[in-house]
Structure 1
Amino acid sequence: MPKINFINSNKQLEVPEDSNILRMSLRYDGELPNRCGGGICGNCVFKAEEGSEYLDNVKVQERRKLGEEWLSKGYRLGCQTFVTNGDISISWDDQVTDVVKKRKPDKLKPTVSASN
């Protein structure tokens, strides 16, 4: 089973594969800041310090709220992110959280679908 190391709270949790970061933090008191749980507020933004290859793909809501700038620096939203099959270490920073919370979501360009 993978482990999530919450650097700020100095807690390490062993969790089932494909576990949501925020849910595991709430269930086992990992202390990741949170508010809405839906990718809207940005309170649960974290940085993957180690093991980012063991996180699932970036969701649309993360792309909208964080934008490419924050995603490229290794930031993700705990409510939208799942740990797959390896150990990860995450941290969070109040200053980054404040910036992300104030950030207006990007409007993503609609994808064109082929009609039959």
Structure 2
Amino acid sequence: MITVTFITNEGKTATAEPNSNLLRISLREKGGIPFKCGGGICGTCRCRIEAGIEHTDTVKPKEKKHLTEADLAAGYRMACQTFVSGDIAVSWIPRGPNGKPISE
């Protein structure tokens, strides 16, 4: 089993089978990663892998439509397109009911 730490959700942790989809883990375990479509179209599930980026699969073409090379280099991925093979920690920008980022 692998462990996913949802930093933005008060450090909540969840376990999952290796090679699980990050958004599906979040949905199943109430991790809190925001999403709308779940299919790589909207970009809402943009998140940052804070630790364990080496435990994620290769970047998909759908992600490259929403993330720049600088974003990818900084550890950003789209949760709906990311499969996890080992322990990771993930954060994201919280969003309000209107889908817009909540100012800190």
**TM-score band, normalised by shorter chain:** 0.7 to 0.9
Q: Which of these two proteins has the greater Rg computed from alpha carbons?
A: 1
What's the RMSD between the two structures over aligned residues? 1.8
Structure-2 residue corresponding to 1:110: none
Asked whether 1:17 is paired with 2:26, we answer: no
3-state secondary structure, aligned to 1:39: coil
CA distance in 1, matches of 2:71, 2:63: 10
**Matches of residues 31-110 of structure 1 in structure 2 within 5 Å?**
31-84=32-85, 86-94=86-94
CA distance in 1, matches of 2:82, 2:55: 10
Deviation at 1:5, TM superposition (A): 0.3
Residues 49-92 of structure 1: per-residue CA shift (max 9 Å, x gap): 000000011011001221212111110000000101x2100001
2:36 touches 2:44 (CA, 8 Å); kept in 1? Answer: yes
Where structure 2 has 5 or more consecutive residues not aligned to the other structure, the ranges are none
- TM-score of the aligned structures, taking structure 1 as reference length: 0.77
Q: How many pairs are equivalent?
A: 97
Where structure 1 has 5 or more consecutive residues not aligned to the other structure, the ranges are 100-116
Counterpart code for 1:90: V
Structure-2 residue corresponding to 1:109: none
3-state secondary structure, aligned to 1:65: coil
Which structure's residues are more often helix, by fraction?
A: 1
Consecutive aligned runs of 4 or more in structure 1 exceeding 3 Å deviation: none
